[in-house]
A and B are shown apart, each in its own frame.
Chain A
Amino acid sequence: MGDFTAQELTAIFVMQGFSGLSLFCVFLLMALGLAIIFGQMGVINMAHGEFLTLGAYITYLVSYQAAEWGATALTWYFPVAIVAAFIGTFALGYLVERFMIRYLYNRPLDTLLATWGLGLILQQVFRSVFGPREKTVTMPDWLLGSYRATDMIDIPLNGLFILVITLVLTLALFALLYRSRWGIKVRATTQNRSMANAAGINTDRVDRLTFALGCGIAGVAGAAFTTIASTGPTTGSLYIVDTFLVVVFGGAASLLGTVVSAFGIAQSQSILSFFWSGSMAKVFTLLTVVVILMLRPQGLFASKVRR
């Protein structure tokens, strides 16, 4: 890289840092919901990607409606879409827990199969309702394009937007889990279910809300991702592998672990694909994760849990 000026290199350094940061946000948004479901409840939710897709489709529906209502609606619909996506996926998650997951607790392989089947069913429902073709969510103008800091540096606006959503959501989740009465119940249930039950915590209710909350977060992620990628029946499956990778690598039952692991994987992938090809970056990242997990099967951060 000898024939580039210092200014160019700085610009690339800044933009590369930002692209790593946006990738980190994407990973974190995906993984948060899965982490609380997998971490707090021990349920492997293979349909997590489909909840994300549902959130994306709800955003599409809201944007479609907004387009009917005119330009002002189209400018400001996005916050509404995010709330709608959260409510929709939260409700579906609640029902799924109530009618399916609760019968399968302590049977991890069965929940894995059942949620995988649920995922396939949802995919086909999306296909039947919305058609197999990808849908475009019309972006409001303030989410399009980039902020040109200098001649060389462009900061994508949708990246900034996702950064803000991720920050807000992560802080809210930490506050909820570590600063609220409900959070105490969740953590108590995670650490020792029968003891929590004996102490008068309605663990069934805690489980139901935790699962629904995890799904709701996936819905918000889906809404946010419409700004950077595609919305189709199988969109969720594009993210699910990375999501599991982040959660397992970070260590189940540890939100902090999820954050750190998302950051590590995102930065290494982003930096490697700058110097290498995209496919090779992925291979190398996966290899590193596999080796680290072999040496440390419990993940980066393991919290003490009585099983």
Chain B
Amino acid sequence: MNLHTLSRSWLAGLTAVTLGASALFGTAHAATPPTDEVMTTGLAVTDDTVKVGILHSLTGTMAISETGSIQAEKLAIKQINEQGGILGRQIEYTVEDGASDWPTFAEKARKLLQGDKVATVFGCWTSASRKAVLPVFEQNNGLLYYPTFYEGLEQSKNVFYTGQEATQQILAALNWANEELGAKSFYLVGSDYIWPRTSMKIARTHIEKHLGGRVVGEDYYPLGNTQFGSLINKIKLKRPDLVFAAVVGGSNVAWFKQLKAAGMTADRMPMLTISVTEDEVLGIGKQNVEGFYSSMKYFQSLDIPSNKEFVAAFKKEYGDDAVIGDVTESAYLGPWLWKRAVEKAGSFDVDKVVAASDNMEWKEGMPHGYTKVDPNHHLWMRTRIGQWGSDGQAKVVWESDVIEPNPFPEGY
């Protein structure tokens, strides 16, 4: 690095600090940079506003899951606006309904990018909806922040994945089960679609190759299945040390209720799931999940100052009964990730925002703790094991080191 660039970056840093300080103390308003400086690609940016899109299912079967994400994204945008917005511009959002229908997601994504010219989109929940909008975002060079933990095996310049990919969520959790619970034999159970199947494939390889354990059974049930009697009998007969489960949706409720009814409580049959968050517990019922484990990067009960603030703000906005699950928290990250990248780039242009995002790091300030954006567009973070209590909240019993995201795991 020569002296010239050094002094320039030093100057830029100094300016940023000054800007930050003036925003913080409100003594002077930073001059808003002119629009033609911060945007050169025809996005919906004016001298005092910037438009973004929120794309989730408001209707249909997925509305159950996606509601929390919408709430979190709106909250983050509101907080950013209260702090003075981004580059002196207030964020305005347009909400589009993907209606739990994948072609509709693609159509609405096209509308947001081509019609509304939004600077970024926060949205999608299922892998299927993400796969449907992916080509739209790539063709139009749009930007998407995707909140759900998912199966991995994907990476796009135009998407940031704020949830965990499969290896982050699974490998550490299995290691923990092996060491702490002494689990040697495992029974794998999932709903029958891509995420559980990919996750279980990774889990099986890890168990057999790296833990020296055994998989005594592996079963998938159709989405919406509500009868698990035969499966529960099979598990009873095979007597695994641990049931590893990824059952989703309405099936999940039936699965837990019937486990309880069959006398398979946590003390008789330990179970670790990768699909139960505080949101699911609402539907399943506290009395039915007590004692079981979940592997997530975030639990509402996390004892981190920034999380306490986040939970308080969320409850103030949406009522005391509101709960925050892992995906809701991931959705909350999206606008903040985008804000910092835009400010670092000094521009809303997608290429510059993407370039500025690499290796952005938060030592604190995020509700789940340490965060770093990997150049592969996934996040570095910790994985935690939570044990569900009778109050419907998880108690964190174990926490991993920061785990590097690895969406294309080799040997799995």
Q: Are B260 and A144 in contact (CB under 8 A)?
A: yes
A-B contact pairs, 24 of them (CB 8 A): A15-B233, A16-B230, A16-B233, A22-B229, A26-B226, A131-B67, A132-B63, A134-B250, A134-B283, A135-B282, A136-B286, A146-B262, A156-B262, A225-B226, A229-B254, A232-B64, A234-B60, A239-B226, A273-B230, A274-B233, A274-B234, A279-B222, A282-B222, A282-B225
**Chain B CB within 8 A of A159 CB:** yes
Contacts of B64 in A (CB 8 A): 132-134, 232-233
How many Å from the CB of A77 to the closest CB on chain B? 15
Contacts of B230 in A (CB 8 A): 16, 19-20, 270-271, 273-274, 278, 281
- Given A133-B67, A134-B253, A228-B261, A152 contacting B279 (CB threshold 8 A): no
- Given A229-B226, A229-B257, A235-B250, A12 contacting B287 (CB threshold 8 A): no
Contacts of B265 in A (CB 8 A): 145
Tell me the number of A-to-B contacts counted with CB atoms below 8 Å.
145
Contacts of A303 in B (CB 8 A): none
**Chain A CB within 8 A of B59 CB:** yes
Q: Which residues of A contact B (CB under 8 A)?
A: 4, 8, 12, 15-16, 18-20, 22-23, 26, 124, 127, 131-139, 144-146, 148, 152, 154, 156-159, 225, 227-235, 237-239, 269-271, 273-274, 277-279, 281-282
Q: Are A148 and B283 in contact (CB under 8 A)?
A: no
- Given A133-B67, A136-B283, A138-B285, A157 contacting B254 (CB threshold 8 A): no
Report Cα–Cα, A229/B64, bound state, in Å: 15
Chain A residue with Cβ nearest B265? A145
Chain A residue with Cβ nearest B223? A238
Contacts of B67 in A (CB 8 A): 131-133
Report Cα–Cα, A137/B284, bound state, in Å: 9
Q: Are A12 and B262 in contact (CB under 8 A)?
A: no
Which one, A15, A16, A158, A281, contacts B257 given CB within 8 A? A158
**Chain A CB within 8 A of B212 CB:** no
Binding site of B, secondary structure by majority: helix, strand, loop or mixed? helix
Q: Which residues of B contact A (CB under 8 A)?
A: 59-61, 63-64, 67, 192, 218-222, 224-227, 229-234, 236-237, 250, 252-254, 257-258, 260-265, 279, 282-287
Report Cα–Cα, A23/B230, bound state, in Å: 10
Report Cα–Cα, A133/B283, bound state, in Å: 7
- Given A133-B282, A228-B254, A273 contacting B262 (CB threshold 8 A): no
Q: Are A156 and B261 in contact (CB under 8 A)?
A: yes
Report Cα–Cα, A235/B283, bound state, in Å: 12
In the complex, the 5 A-B pairs of residues with the closest C-beta atoms, listed nearest first: A19-B229, A134-B283, A230-B253, A156-B261, A278-B221
